[in-house]
Amino acid sequence: MTRNNLKLSETELSGFLSKHRLPVEFRRVAEQHYSPLARRLPEIRGDKHQLVLGINGAQGTGKSTLADFLRLAAESMFDWRVAVLSIDDFYLTFKERQSLAHVVHPLLLTRGPPGTHDTNMLCDCLDQLRNLRRGERITLPRFDKSTDDRANESRWPIVEGPTDLVILEGWCVGTKAQTDAELELPVNALEEHEDSDGAWRSYVNDQLKANYEPIFEQLDFLVFMRAPSFDAILRWRVEQEEKLAAVSPEGSSGLMNEDQITRFLQFYERLTRANLATLPEQANLVFELDESHSISS
């Protein structure tokens, strides 16, 4: 069942703005960019029983906002059942990363790069969503960044099948592994001083090729939220952390200050820069963001 008027009602849009603490200017983004994509979802899905849509973007580009907008729109316009997954929710637990850091490389204690996610759990979740029948339910994992560990299962959302749309969003969704030659030179101080022999970045790259790319091959459609520069990403990441502090029950406890964020982003820098250069040609749709965080085209 679908509505004749394929757009969100004023009540739905106002509620969305309030939920995500978005300015009124977001209405233009919704009307000019997000809504047209939402209306295309049945066309993109075609005759498949389920559409798997990926969203790639660096920290603070609006991936989760777009994912939630598409969820709301698909449920409202097409009466679809939607599951939204963030690759961030599939991080290894803190204890698992401690073990990995001890056995493989100390830098693997820090969540983020390929190799620090439970890709088996993600594969299992996607398989269950693909085969979920009417009346069957599963819970979707959630990670608590304020505690740097997996959230208690009582906080995991429940999805009932069958699912018409699965959205997988994350900074490395759709990312391709690099060549050995591309790995040789460090791209920042972290790699130069704490990964001088390239062991960490080689492990990350091997994990990306072996365990992540097969997952990304399941995507039917990839959206890339392209930031204007890596400097802009740093500024937006600081803003995102401040937003997390505002809504977290623990406040700023466990969150990062600007110096910590600067170092933290160096874990992501190599592949983020590669995505800025290569994903525009690989993605099905690219939203170009300007310095003010708005979609310019």
Contact 70, 188 (CB under 8 A): no
- Residue 295 inside a domain? The answer is no
> Can you give the pLDDT at residue 252?
55
- Residue 23 inside a domain? The answer is no
Domain count, the chain: 1
d(CA 104, CA 100): 6
DSSP label at residue 170: E
pLDDT tens for 139-171 read 999 999 889 999 999 999 999 999 999 999 999
Percentage above 90 pLDDT, the chain? 73
Name the nearest CA neighbour of 30 among 12, 52, 47: 12
Residue 254 predicted with pLDDT over 70: no
d(CA 244, CA 261): 13
- Residue 266 inside a domain? The answer is yes
- Residue 162 C-beta-side C-alpha neighbours within 13 Å: 8
- Residue 296 inside a domain? The answer is no
**Per-residue confidence band for 21, with pLDDT thresholds at 50, 70 and 90:** confident
- Residue 4 inside a domain? The answer is no
> Can you give the pLDDT at residue 2?
45
- Residue 134 inside a domain? The answer is yes
Which residue range is the domain that position 161 belongs to?
10-14+28-35+47-288
pLDDT tens for 82-121 read 999 999 999 999 999 999 999 999 999 999 999 999 999 9
Residue 253 predicted with pLDDT over 70: no
Residues in the chain: 297
Q: Which two tokens stand for residue 128?
A: 């269950």
CATH number of the domain residue 204 falls in: 3.40.50.300
d(CA 33, CA 66): 10
Helical (H) or strand (E) element with 287? strand 285-288
- Residue 19 inside a domain? The answer is no
d(CA 131, CA 106): 38
- Residue 132 inside a domain? The answer is yes
* Composition of the chain by helix, strand, coil, percent to 5: 50, 15, 35
**Per-residue confidence band for 20, with pLDDT thresholds at 50, 70 and 90:** confident
